[in-house]
Amino acid sequence: MAFISLRQLLDHAAEHDYGVPAFNVNNLEQIQAIMEAAQASRSPVILQASAGARKYAGEAYLRHMVLAAVETHPDIPVVLHQDHGASPAVCIQSIRSGFTSVMMDGSLLEDAKSPAPYEYNVEVTRRVVDMAHAIGVSVEGELGCLGSLETGEAGEEDGVGAQGTLTHDMLLTDPAQAKDFVSRTGVDALAIAIGTSHGAYKFTRQPTGDILAIDRIAAIHAAVPDTHLVMHGSSSVPQEWLAIIREHGGAIKETYGVPVEEIRRGIRHGVRKVNIDTDIRLAMTGAMRQALAKDPGEFDPRKALIAARKAASALCRLRFEAFGCAGQASKIRPISFDRMAEKYRRRELAQLVA
């Protein structure tokens, strides 16, 4: 198998009604954990790296670890996706580095903090689509700002996130605007704002429809049926991991995530890519705290890291299974990037003459 494009994977997911978790990766143990879970459940994989990940691990380390993952698991199709690119330049750099998909997040200006005007978002996203599609690489855009419908705050994660208080309008993607955005940019996937936010502190109570707008997904999907919807901030923040962290000296306040059942409802309404970072971090931190507390004389970090990897892998497997992704790996026949580029060219020509 090998690397495939996001477009190919999500087309397959749409055809067969499933969703694909997109897990953020920063280090060796996370990549191994995700790949082990994918292998065990025979699932295709999206590994995504943010600017924070590239800063932490370094572009070359990330690239080579992901290459090692593909080599170790030849039966598993892998998408290497860049999460939250702040500018066309960042996206092009990632493509050069071997990413098979990029996110141009033009919902914020290049500082990754200030909400951007709509026309700016259209312009930078369209520029990235033109360049990426020419070589068969997929593009995810974002419309609306991620943030809490409870507080109006965006929350910052890894240096990305709007600052200040946002209005309800900014926090919910408008279906009519989504239609315009997709037709003017040609994005393959669209990240939507429905009340989810990055990080552990998403909701102060179990979310209900007023603060987690799952119903809006159906309206957006109806407006852009051929564009794959992406749910960011989709960690479920497992209460059992919070309890383990607290029992072993951690101090995480009361908080709730997006219930897996709500994500499944989102998938039934057209969500195909489900971004998860925090859950892996919580599971790994909990498992490391537990392992270190259990054996205070241990000085080999591998012992705690093995526990962390096992915990992350179990969590990833649950998500692959819950989203209907398990068992799909062998059904995907990789399409070359040249052929993907050809498909895009033909589609554009057809649109031009229509």
Helix (H, G, I), strand (E, B) or coil at 118: helix
Total binding residues toward ligand 13P, as defined by CB under 6 A: 14
Find where tokens 């572009």 sit.
Answer: 59
Q: Is 180 a catalytic residue?
A: no
Q: Which residues contact 325 (CB under 8 A, 6 or more apart)?
A: 13, 18, 19, 20, 21, 41, 43, 44, 319
Indicate whether 232 belongs to the interface with ligand 13P (CB under 6 A): yes
Distances (CA, A) of 318 to 48, 161, 314, 315: 19, 28, 6, 5
Which of 7, 54, 126, 198: binder of ligand 13P (CB under 6 A)?
198
Residues contacting residue 87 through CB under 8 Å, at least 6 positions apart: 110, 124
Q: Judged by CB under 6 A, which of 82, 278, 285, 290 binds ligand 13P?
A: 278
- Nearer to ligand 13P by Cβ, of 193 and 332: the residue is 193
Terminus-to-terminus CA distance in the chain, angstroms? 37
**Which span sits near ligand 13P by CB under 6 A: 206-214, 230-238, 299-307, 331-339?**
230-238
Nearer to ligand 13P, 141 or 199 (CB): 199
Q: Does 275 bind ligand 13P (CB under 6 A)?
A: yes
Nearer to ligand 13P, 83 or 262 (CB): 83
Part in contact with ligand 13P (CB under 6 A); list of ranges 6-14, 89-97, 105-113, 233-241: 233-241
321 CA to centre of own chain: 17
**Min separation Cβ 157 and ligand 13P, Å:** 6
Q: Residue 281 Cβ, how far from ligand 13P at the closest point, in Å?
A: 8
Q: Which of 85, 136, 144, 233 binds ligand 13P (CB under 6 A)?
A: 233
Whose structure tokens read 């970072």? 277
Q: Which stretch binds ligand 13P (CB under 6 A): 35-43, 60-68, 247-255, 277-285?
A: 277-285
Taking each helix axis as running N to C, give the angle between helix 175-185 and helix 118-133, from 0 to 180 degrees, rounded to the nearest 10.
40
- What is the pattern of x (binds ligand 13P, CB under 6 A) and - over residues 9-48? ---------------x------------------------
Output 332-337 pairs: Cβ under 8 A, ≥24 positions apart.
332/1, 332/4, 332/8, 332/9, 332/12, 332/44, 332/77, 334/1, 334/2, 334/3, 334/4, 334/8, 334/77, 335/4, 335/5, 335/8, 336/136, 337/5, 337/100, 337/135, 337/136, 337/137
Binding mask 98-137 for ligand 13P (x = CB under 6 A): ----------------------------------------
Q: Which residue has the tokens 């989102």?
A: 266
Binding ligand 13P by CB under 6 A: which of 35, 86, 276, 315? Answer: 276
77-96 footprint of ligand 13P as x/- string (CB under 6 A): ------x-------------
Q: Write down the catalytic residue from 11, 83, 105, 277.
A: 83
Residue choice 235, 285, 290, 313 for contact with ligand 13P (CB under 6 A):
235
**Shortest distance (Å) from residue 95 CB to ligand 13P:** 18
Whole-Å CA distances, 29 to 12, 41, 185, 214, 240: 28, 18, 36, 33, 21
**Distances, alpha carbon 27 to alpha carbons 3, 154, 238, 314, in Å:** 19, 26, 22, 17
To ligand 13P, the closest distance from the beta carbon of 295 in angstroms equals: 29
Binding site residues, ligand 13P, CB under 6 A = 24, 83, 157, 198-199, 232-235, 275-279
Residues forming the active site: 83
